[in-house]
Structures are given as C-alpha cells and as structure tokens.
Structure 1
Amino acid sequence: MAIVLGALTGALGFLPLLLSLRLARRSTSTEALTIGMYGLAGVCVSFIILVVALVACGITAKASVLPFAVSETVVFLSATIVFVVYKNLLAKRRAPRE
C-alpha cells in the first residue's frame, strides 16, 4: 500500500511542474524573470507536496517510509525525465519544418 501511495504522491508532485510550464508558455511577458518565477513556483510547490507527504507517512507509518519514499522519488523523477525527453527530442522530430 505504501508503494502505491508513494507512486500517487510522486505523480501528484509532478503536476505543479507541468502547470507552471504551461503558465510560463501562455505568459505574454517577455522578461526572463517572469518566466523563471513560474518555474521556481512550480518547483517549490512540488517540493512542498513531496516533503509533506513524506513527513505524513513518517508520522503515521514509520515502517513504510522507505518504500513510500523510493516509489515517490522514482515516479516523480521518471515523469520529469519522460516529459523533458518528449518535449525536447520527440516533439521536435514530429514538428513540420518550414
């Protein structure tokens, strides 16, 4: 059960990063600071979600902290890596060239 909850928390922790990227792309500002603040906010919210869930697991079920933390970390990093690879490599190959 701890592995499943950790995986769900890892996926939930990735959502603020995805949302901040979409907000940065839709921003009409051309200043790098504005776009950077969206990214920083996404990272901070993701970090808060992951840490709060890990602390809650540590308080409620100390024996399950390790499987929870490992599954949380693996899912979060995997989602981030897949997203970055997709956006930077695979999506550019499909785009029509002018």
Structure 2
Amino acid sequence: MYLILSLKHTKKEDESITLWRSNNQGYCSYLEGAGQYENFIEDYHNSEGNLPINQTILNKLDKIQSLNDYGEPVTFIHNSKKNHSILNIEFVKGKLCKK
C-alpha cells in the first residue's frame, strides 16, 4: 500500500506535508484522511509534484500528533529537514522538489 505525498501543495511554511485523499479526490494534511493506494501510476502519482511512499518509508518519518476541530487525535507528517532527507526532497525557490 502507498500514500501519495503532494509536493506541489506543500508550502515551506506548512507544518505538515500534504497528502492525497482516496480515489484521487483532493488533498488533506493528516494521515487519517489520506488515501491508501494499492498501486501507483507512474507519471501521475509518481511525478514531479507527487511522491508515493510505502509503509516502510512512512515508519521512518517524524510525525506530529494533534487534535482536529472535533477534539479527535490526528497525525501529520512533519514538514522537516529530517523528513526531507529521508524522502530525498528539498525546497528549491520555495517549491518542494525531488532531488
């Protein structure tokens, strides 16, 4: 299973990395709302602005726990230099890009 990270929708000032929802239906910031993709489509899910990751990679990333507007716990992937290094991505001229 894969999660799809949206590099193009993640800004430098964002605390978390943006994720795709299920069935290519928009974006969210927390893991509980993210879609789980059995496979990914090259040049669509794995493109300049998107990055699929598997559970092994996800387990290596630093996460932030918080409460949503309803007081329920949610988990975010921290938009940090450590995570950027693990994912092999970086900000170039304000845009998150693959190295």
With normalisation by structure 1, the TM-score equals: 0.24
Q: More relative contact order in 1 or in 2 (CA 8 Å, sep 6+)?
A: 1
Larger proportion of strand: 2
- TM-score of the superposed pair, with normalisation by structure 2: 0.24
More helix per residue: 1
Rg (Cα) greater in structure: 1
